[in-house]
Amino acid sequence: MKEKLVLIGNGMAGVRTLEELLKLDPAMYDITVFGEEPYGNYNRILLSPVLAGEKTIDDIMLNDLQWYEDNGITLHTGEKVVKIDRRARKLITDKGREESYDRLLLATGSHPIILPVPGNDLDGVISFRDIKDVDAMLEAAKKYKHAVVIGGGLLGLEAANGLKLQGMHVSVVHLMDTLMERQLDPVSGGMLKQSLEERGLNFLMGASTEAILGEGHVRGVRFKGGLEVAADLVVMAVGIRPNIDLARDAGLHCERGVVVNDTLQTFDPRIYAVGECVQHRGQTYGLVAPLFEQAKVAANHLAKLGIARYEGSVTSTKLKVTGIDLFSAGDFMGDDSTEEIVMQDAARGVYKKIVLRDNKIQGSVLYGDTVDGAWYFQLMRDGTDVSDIRDSLLLGQHHLGDAGHGGTNLAASMADDAEVCGCNGVCKGDIVKAITEEGLFTLDEVRAHTKASASCGSCTGLVEQILAHTLGSDYSEAPSAKPLCKCTEHTHDEVRAAIREQKLTSIRQVIDTLEWHTPDGCAACRPALNYYLIAAWPGEAQDDPQSRFINERAHANIQKDGTYSVVPRMWGGLTNPKELRAIADVVEKYDVPEMKVTGGQRIDLFGVKKEDLPAIWSDLNAAGMVSGHAYGKSLRTVKTCVGKSWCRFGTQDSTGLGVKLEKLTWGSWMPHKFKIAVSGCPRNCAEATIKDFGVVCVDSGYELHVGGNGGIKVRVTDLLGKVETEEEVMEYCAAFTQLYREEAHYLERTAPWVERVGLSHIQQHVMESDENRKALADRFKESQKYAQIDPWAEHAQKAELRKEFEPLKQVG
Amino acid sequence: MSDWIEVGSVEDIPKLGARVVKTAEGDIGIFRTNDDRIFALRDSCPHQGGPLSQGIVHDHKVTCPLHNWNIELETGEAVAPDEGCAATYPVKVENGTVYLSLSS
Ligand SMILES: Cc1cc2nc3c(=O)[nH]c(=O)nc-3n(C[C@H](O)[C@H](O)[C@H](O)COP(=O)(O)OP(=O)(O)OC[C@H]3O[C@@H](n4cnc5c(N)ncnc54)[C@H](O)[C@@H]3O)c2cc1C
Ligand code: HEM
Ligand code: SF4
Ligand code: FES
């Protein structure tokens, strides 16, 4: 018989945990859910837009009754659990029902705090927590005129805004002098107050409520000092208190919330708890992002995978009042040990403040322009050193240039029919529709349903923004260390460290040692692991062809009709009659339908049948040509200009140097494709400043440029430094390449990598320390010993490898 | 009834890999999983006809090389939320030899 799992609390955290659990193992438990509210699971956050008339209750349902049925879950709505009997492992409801459990999940949320003042139980005094409250407010707005909202925090302001839009006259009462003082500093709080006043809200600041007046129905509110204000509706939004009633009565250890450990277990190991009702490492949370993180971990343990840990969350806040942009995260006030960078533009209504300690972001407040909130939040969570970008930090990520990977905040302004994902032809409208209709929350879900960003991934940033923009930032999962793929919880960096430190040399070892959830990994992690292994242990780790994308397995680019292209290497773009004749010969001999000169200064043969590949390679080999690796996450080409040998402007032998660099680097496997160019003078005909590694020759030596790319979003290189001799260029190139090979994540090009780790980090390793540079260059040369084998010759010669290209059998 | 055709030995197909059998009705991919099960699918992805035999095999699935659909080797069905089906063919292994039947 299956074990019984019972969930108490049919709210956002509890049901999210069930969803995560069903994803991991849909059949593990017999699941029963009790919910005091008489509905399926709905999106509590969106009660504010419902109150404001921007959404309906139907719009905010997350899981309707059908969902529970489809997943074999028994749901009892409108039924409150009143007692847990831990010894007998059963619980009792207000309808007298008894239910036994093997595991119990508590997700009882919180209670709104009701001020202990006379009159707090009058008719017309309500809180703002559930559908019932919103119904009461909408009802009141039809009948009455005057509303008082007590509490100038997030919830109070959203309530006030909604009531105002429903036509009421609204006063907000706040005990402090700054609105949302837990999220805003006095300047931004003041700006917020001003724009809400312009929308017709009244404020009573520094006012302490003494009594609520009226007999039967509320009629007004009195404050200390005697001031009275008329009211037919009073909304208390002064805070929340974790709902621990049941847990405490059952003898579970509680402080402010139900105390849980890093696996979300309470002091009774059969009982888990998630959501606003829990206290973890002394913290309670009142926003969904941390609750969703908890849900993931709790589900992992309920599914008995037992590897995830919850280590607490850093949260950020946005206010959901249409037309007001406000963002706050971390320590935004600062202290003696911090510095502030501030920008204020009163005319535009924009204010930005970033608090730094030792050049790391501690917190930020943004008002009026919050486009970069997510970016600052990410920098803060990652603890990124921002010294390199300090000057332009407040101008935003867009200003930095993002190499087509971060994406600027276009999401808001894009038209619905604007194409987002060029690979799969997905428009913004398709994505928004999938998010709202299918109830999607995560990038992975959007990928699965729409295919947007599922292919080349270059639109990932944009898709994430559309997700955030459509759902309100509340959902965009707090940026966290992303796991390598769905097969594991470990990040790229953790996996690489394990491979190095535990000397793992095969994919099977990694999958076993790091406890992958899937038997053989997937098409996303296997190629990454294969690369990490051969990069860490050249010569020792066996390359696994079955874990390479077909292009690298077949050493040719698969085309859309299933044929392949062949690109022989032309060193530095140089060629000669013998090579050209050999190319012409194979084109005729094998009926190759098309040839083209590529942007990488060589010739591409298109439309080749897979089974002809080995023969073509062997003919090209015979003329001295080798694979150009135009198909690989590897060095592609070294593009050169004619340079000093012919050009009147040339300062150095750019072509010769290019050939040397290509001889140095060819065959090397990389996290992503890698292109080099050498220009003979600053006119830069070889476009060296949009390459991964570019050399621009000058009279006095060689400028080294790194981290550029062409493509959808051009990124110009950063200047790494200048050297004087060709030998130095070679050594610095080897060192830079090796640093990239060792540090970048698989499928991360140099441009986003340079932006992630910062140019100064790279300069430290490659320019400033001779010792480091030599060590890097040596490691590169060592790994090249094993990599510089022409795969074409190898395949043409070894029958075993040729099998890949031959049919197993021809039938009929 | 099935006409079993001998197509080669299990060892001719790499683990977590595939080989192609060419037939009059088109290519058929013969897949070998890590637990040495053998499956046969029409070598054409239900999405846009990508050559499934060139994909990465994991568990009892293959990921199409063109746009990353995942296809169940046992049934030919695309893994949700994608929808579609590649034709499957009966295969059997006897003494390390793989036999295929074209009566799909
Ligand atoms: C108006 C409003 C706006 C918000 N806006 C945001 C926002 O913009 N961003 C953000 O991140 N967060 C926001 N929040 C907070 C967010 O909604 C909560 O953090 C989240 O819903 C808490 O999830 P939970 O599962 O812990 O609790 P809930 O979602 O409250 O679920 C708990 C459920 O348990 C039920 N229950 C309790 N006791 C029992 C019992 N004994 N038996 C049976 N059932 C029981 C309750 O009835 C309730 O349905 C907002 C909240 C409100 C009210
Ligand atoms: C995955 C699909 C892609 C394939 C199969 C592909 C293939 C190729 C090939 C075969 C070449 C010729 C290179 C050579 O001579 O070695 C080339 C050149 C080039 N590709 Fe791509 N490419 C792809 C995606 C991209 C993307 C996404 C970008 C932009 C980010 C891009 C930008 C370029 C540029 C700028 C060149 C010219 C290189 C140079 O001048 O050195 N390609 N591509
Ligand atoms: S980059 Fe300078 S040296 Fe090279 S071809 Fe152009 S002008 Fe001549
Ligand atoms: S053709 Fe297979 S995924 Fe598109």
φ and ψ at residue B29, rounded to 5 degrees: -90, 130
Q: What is the mean pLDDT of residues A102-126?
A: 95
| Cross-chain Cβ contact B5/A811 below 8 Å | yes
Is the backbone of residue A103 left (phi > 0), alpha (psi -120 to 50) or beta?
Answer: beta
Residue closest to A688 by CA, chosen among A647, A643, A728 = A643
Across the interface, whether the CB atoms of A520 and B57 are under 8 A apart is answered yes
Task: For A583-634, write each residue's pLDDT tens digit.
Answer: 999 999 999 999 999 999 999 999 998 889 989 999 999 999 999 999 899 9
| pLDDT higher than 60, residue A477 | no
Confidence of residue A508 (pLDDT cuts 50, 70, 90): very high
Domain A316-474 has CATH 3.30.390.30: yes
User: Rounded to an integer, what distance in angstroms lies between the CA atom of residue A149 and that of residue A170?
Assistant: 7
Nearest CA-CA distance, residue B41 and chain A, Å: 14
Q: Mean pLDDT lowest for which of A57-66, A441-450, A525-534, B75-84?
A: A441-450
- Inter-chain CB proximity A550 and B81 less than 8 Å: no
Tell me where in chain A the CATH 3.30.390.30 domain(s) lie: 316-474
Residue A70 identity (one-letter amino acid): D
Conformation bin of residue A244: beta by default, left when phi > 0, alpha when psi is -120 to 50: alpha
Q: Is the dihedral of CA A438, A443, A444, A446 positive or negative?
A: positive
pLDDT digits (tens, 9 = 90+) for A355-394: 999 999 999 999 988 777 877 888 888 888 888 888 788 8
Question: Given A455, A549, A553, which is nearest B67 (Cβ)?
Answer: A455
**Tokens of residue A375, six digits:** 């970016």
Nearest to A809 among B7, B50, B65 (CB): B7
Q: Which residues contact A432 (CB under 8 A, 6 or more apart)?
A: A416, A466, A470
Closest CB to A807: pick one of B17, B21, B56. B21
Specify the pLDDT at position A806: 82
Q: List pLDDT tens digits, range A653-672.
A: 999 999 999 999 999 999 99
Backbone angles phi, psi at A226, to 5 degrees: 100, -15
Q: Does the Cβ of A420 fall within 6 Å of ligand 3?
A: no
pLDDT interval class at A755 (50, 70, 90): confident
Position A406 scores a pLDDT of 39
**Measured distance CA(B16)–CA(A527) in Å, rounded:** 13
A207: number of Cβ within 10 Å: 21
For the domain covering B15-91, report its CATH number: 2.102.10.10
| CB count in 10 Å sphere of residue A365 | 27
Structure tokens at A453: 């960003």
Nearest of A672, A609, A669 to residue A806 by alpha carbon: A609
ipTM of the complex: 0.92
Give the model's pLDDT for residue A230.
94
Q: Which two tokens stand for residue A292?
A: 């969703």
pLDDT of residue A424: 66
Q: Other CB atoms closer than 10 Å to residue A699's CB: what's the count?
A: 8
Mean pLDDT to the nearest integer, A719-745: 96
Statement: A635-787 belongs to CATH 1.20.1250.20: no
The C-alpha of B62 sits at a distance from chain A's nearest C-alpha, in angstroms, of 8
Question: Quick one: pLDDT at residue A541?
Answer: 92
How far is the centre of ligand 3, averaged over its atoms, from the C-alpha of A645 (Å)? 10
The CATH 3.50.50.60 domain(s) of chain A lie at: 3-110+242-302, 125-238
Q: Which two tokens stand for residue A577?
A: 């009659």
Q: What is the pLDDT of residue A400?
A: 53
Q: What are phi and psi of A315, to 5 degrees?
A: -115, 160
Q: Please give the pLDDT value at position B74.
A: 94
- Lowest mean pLDDT: which of A199-213, A233-247, A796-810? A796-810
> Mean pLDDT in chain A?
89
The residues of B whose Cβ lies within 8 A of any Cβ of A are: 5, 7-8, 12-17, 19-24, 27, 30, 33-34, 48-51, 54-59, 63, 65-68, 70, 81, 100, 102
The predicted model gives A23-29 an average pLDDT of: 91
Q: Whose CA is nearest to atom 42 of ligand 2?
A: A711
Torsion of CA A137, A142, A147, A153, to 10 degrees: 40
Cβ of residue A422 lying under 6 Å from some atom of ligand 2: no
SS3 state of residue A666: coil
Q: Is the peptide bond before B81 cis (omega within 30 degrees of 0)?
A: yes
Query: Closest Cα to atom 19, ligand 2: which residue?
Result: A599
Per-residue pLDDT, averaged over A138-153, amounts to 94
pLDDT digits over A61-72, tens only?
Answer: 888 899 999 999
Q: How far apart are CA A431 and CA A127, in angstroms?
A: 35
- Take atom 4 of ligand 3 and give the residue whose Cα is closest: A680
| pLDDT of B81 | 81
A456 pLDDT tier (thresholds 50, 70, 90)? low
Q: Which of A156, A436, A439, A472 is nearest to A316 (CA)?
A: A472
> Does the CB atom of residue A684 touch ligand 2 within 6 A?
no
CA gap B64, B50 in Å, rounded: 6
Are B91 and B39 in contact by the 8 Å Cβ rule? The answer is yes
- Sheet with A809-810: list strands edge to edge: A809-810, B17-23, B26-32, B38-42, B88-89
Tell me the two tokens of residue A189: 């709080």
> What is the DSSP secondary-structure string of A346-365?
TTTTEEEEEEEETTEEEEEE
Does residue B45 carry a pLDDT above 90?
yes
Please report, for residues A287, A381, A383, the alpha-carbon distance to residue A363 in angstroms, rounded to integers and kept in the order given.
Answer: 17, 10, 11
Q: Provide, as residue numbers in chain A, all residues whose Cβ is less than 8 Å from the Cβ of B23.
A: 811-812
A194, A457, A583, A630, A662 from A624: Cα distances, Å: 75, 37, 11, 18, 16
Ligand closest in space to the Cα of A640: 3
pLDDT at B97 over 90: yes
pLDDT tens for A338-350 read 888 888 887 788 8
The alpha-carbon radius of gyration of chain A (Å, integer) is 31
The answer to whether A616 touches A603, Cβ cutoff 8 Å, is no
pLDDT of residue A167: 94
Q: What amino acid is encoded at A801 in this protein?
A: L
- The whole-model pTM stands at 0.60
Per-residue pLDDT at A271: 97
Query: Which residues is A674 bridged to in the sheet?
Result: A635
* Among B16, B81, B102, beta carbon nearest to A448: B81
What is the reported pLDDT for A408?
43
Q: Which residues in A551-561 are b (16+ Cβ under 10 Å) and which e? A: bbbbbbbbeee
Assign a CATH topology to domain A125-238.
FAD/NAD(P)-binding domain (3.50.50)
CATH fold group of domain A551-622: Sulfite Reductase Hemoprotein; domain 2 (3.90.480)
Token pair of A740, please?
A: 């990239």
C-beta atoms of A523 and B63 within 8 A: yes
- Looking at domain A3-110+242-302, its CATH class is alpha beta
What is the rounded CA–CA span in Å between residue A8 and residue A33? 6
Q: Take residue A600 and report the two structure tokens written for it.
A: 């990488």
Name the residue ranges covered by the structural domains of chain B: 15-91
Task: Compute the distance between CA of residue B43 and CA of residue B54 in angstroms, rounded to an integer.
Answer: 9
Contacts of A756 (CB under 8 A, 6+ apart): A384, A748
Q: How many CB atoms lie within 10 A of CB A88?
A: 9
Chain B residues with CB inside 8 Å of A517's CB? none
